Amino acid sequence: MTASDDLWVGLEALRKARPAYVQAAAYYDDDVPEVFASARFRRALQRTGMEFGKPFIAMVVDAVVSRLKIAAVTSPHKDQAEALKQVWKANKMRRESLQVHRWVSIYGDAYLIVLPVLDDAGNITGVDMFGNDPLTVRTIYDAENPREAAFTIKRWCEPVGLDRTVHRAELYYPDGRAERWTTKVDSAGTVPGDWNPWLPDPIVEADGTVIEPDDDAWIMQAAPGLPVFHFRNDQPYGVPEHRRGYGSQNSVNKLDNTHMGTVDYQGWPQRYALTDTATTDTGDLEPSDFDDDMFPPDPDAGPTDTGDDSSLKGGPGEVMLLRGFKQVGQFDAADPKVFLGPIEFSVRAMGVLTTTPLHLFDPSGEQPSGQSLRAQDAPFTEKIEERQEEYTDTWDESYSFALTLLGFAEPSVDVRWHAAQTLDDKESWDTAKVKSDLGVPLRQIHLEAGYGEDQVQSWLESQTDDPGELSRHLADLATLSESLQRIGTAVTLGAIDQGQAQALIEPILKALTAKSPLPIEPAPEGQ
């Protein structure tokens, strides 16, 4: 039996989608070659072996990932909440969820596979949850109803010996059925005839009896439904968060590499001399600041153009001998502003096109604060909140599926996120205190400040009957923020050093922590 229609459809879909995913990863990893107008300059730069990449575009992805943090996955039912806690811990979901969010931000798509853990008797003892990038997994949607998945394919390459491999593939269907396929050893898997059903290995009993698998053992019931969950930021497939910034990053690469090509000329300007051939002997004139003996040729570098056949030799420190000795001088190197100005424009364009705040590209520069920060971050915060809404449904479905595997007939899951924006500057806490004095509920104030609902609830439950404690806590936070701001200014001006600043900050933190009923810093995210 050869490859089924579904297998070949899935393999072709993976193949066609792969180039765009590879390109997205290349931009994030700063592995995109520069396009040169001059082939000669390209060869010259390639011979240096130098790389001057400045992948500003990676910040577009990292900024999104840094705001996508799950605060809790729980349930209103105590037994289900406990089961979810065990699943979270067993699968190290703090790290796994971060990886899924990174993949979906880089590629636009990511997948989570949820399968039961079975003991020797076939009983379910737990749940496996593991993320997959879209280079190996793809869900194929129904042509009539694009919201419904027809099936999901996963393909990978597996070593079977020294320098020998086989290709494997699994198809998952909404009814829980799974098909397993494999190629022969060293087969490329590029045509349907390369693929055959993947049967499990024979079982060898203790007495040496060999039990061969059934002919249909390559088809199995993997789960009570489709165990693959598709994270995406668009329909039917997502778009890399940094996709609109590709052009800007190309501009940055081009400008920066060309700028680096002129840096040597800044240190050793190219000079010229006009000579009079009738009156001047230039035979003993050394045409370069650098003697060839200082830099002998590399015997392994291959043939090079030494320029010895011409007195017009271009390069850092070289002299152009123009007969006559009527005048000497040097050529001015390119003004760095010619490159740095457009680079700044390209980075700003990247921020606008990808809805990424400009201050995130240069955290060491002048940073906005208070209302200015909130205004600049507003479009980005809105994008993060949209991503949280999009991914909440998928997380809810995957954890509900996990509870179903564990035997819960009516699973109920509540996925909670850390706030898309945390307000922790002095102006924000001063405003919070004014709101408190005007009667705004303290619960609402803390939620607006970016603290999780569970954190606020635990704080409220831990309070005494003194209604002024939370107000004093807000005042403490405002005092802390103001003190840190002033100490930071003193360090910047050189009035104190980092060690002295730390010595000043520690007593303030200890004092505020001791008197405040609430923690100064937010609690860690996750379970």
DSSP codes joined into one string, 354-416? HT--GGGT-TTS----HHHHHHHHHHHHHHHHHHHHHHHHHHHHHHHHHHHHTT-SS---EEE
Secondary structure string (H, E, C) spanning 60-127: HHHHHHHHCCEEEEECCCHHHHHHHHHHHHHCCHHHHHHHHHHHHHHHCEEEEEEEEEECCCCCEEEE
CB 386 within 8 A of CB 441: no
Pairing of strands 228-232, 109-118: antiparallel
**pLDDT value of residue 516:** 53
Percent pLDDT > 90 in the chain is 38
Strands (E), 162-252: 164-172, 177-183, 195-197, 203-204, 210-211, 219-221, 228-232
Q: How far is CA 42 from CA 39, 45, 46, 261, 335, in A?
A: 5, 5, 6, 11, 21
Greatest CA span in the chain, whole angstroms? 106
H or E element, residue 160: strand 149-161
Q: How far apart are CA 316 and CA 269, in angstroms?
A: 6
At a CB cut-off of 8 Å and minimum separation 6, what does 262 contact? 333, 334, 339
What's at 114, amino acid-wise? V
d(CA 109, CA 138): 9
How far apart are alpha carbons 462 and 111 in whole angstroms? 40
Tokens of 106: 């880089």
Amino acid at 117: V
Statement: residue 97 has pLDDT above 60: yes
Residue 481's SS3 state is helix
C-alpha to C-alpha distance for 193 and 261, rounded to whole angstroms: 52
> Which of 58-67, 108-117, 171-180, 426-435 is predicted least confidently?
426-435
pLDDT tens by residue, 316-344: 666 666 555 567 777 776 776 767 778 78
Rounded Cα gap, residues 397 and 459, in angstroms = 30
Rounded Cα distance, 497 and 502, in Å: 9
* Three-point CA angle 395, 400, 401, nearest 5°: 100
pLDDT digits (tens, 9 = 90+) for 254-302: 777 776 667 666 666 777 766 665 555 555 555 555 455 545 566 565 5
What is the Cα–Cα distance from 110 to 182, expressed in whole angstroms?
A: 24
Backbone φ, ψ for residue 17 (5° rounding)? -80, -20
Task: Tell me the pLDDT band of 308, cut-offs 50, 70 and 90.
Answer: low
Q: Can you give 17-75 as a three-state secondary structure string?
A: HHHHHHHHHHHHCCCCCCCCCCHHHHHHHHHHCCCCCCCCHHHHHHHHHHHCCEEEEEC
429 pLDDT band, cuts 50/70/90, is low
> What per-residue confidence (pLDDT) applies to 394?
97
Check: CB of residue 331 under 8 Å from CB of residue 319: no
pLDDT computed for residue 63 by the predictor: 94
Give the tens place of pLDDT for each residue, 468-519: 565 666 667 677 777 777 887 777 777 788 788 788 777 777 776 665 554 4
pLDDT at position 25 is 96
pLDDT at 523: 42
The pLDDT mean for the chain works out to: 80
| Alpha carbon distance, N-terminus to C-terminus of the chain | 48
Distance CA 335, CA 266 (A): 9
- What is the tens place of the pLDDT at every residue in 194-236? 999 999 887 777 777 877 878 888 999 888 899 999 999 999 9
C-alpha count within 13 angstroms, C-beta hemisphere, residue 88: 21
Q: Among 341, 319, 313, 316, which residue's Cα sits nearest to residue 266?
A: 316
Q: 342 vs 250, 254, 261, 400, CA distance in Å? A: 12, 10, 16, 50
- The residue ranges of every structural domain in the chain are 270-331, 422-527
DSSP letter at 525 equals S
How far apart CA 128 and CA 90 sit, in angstroms, is 8
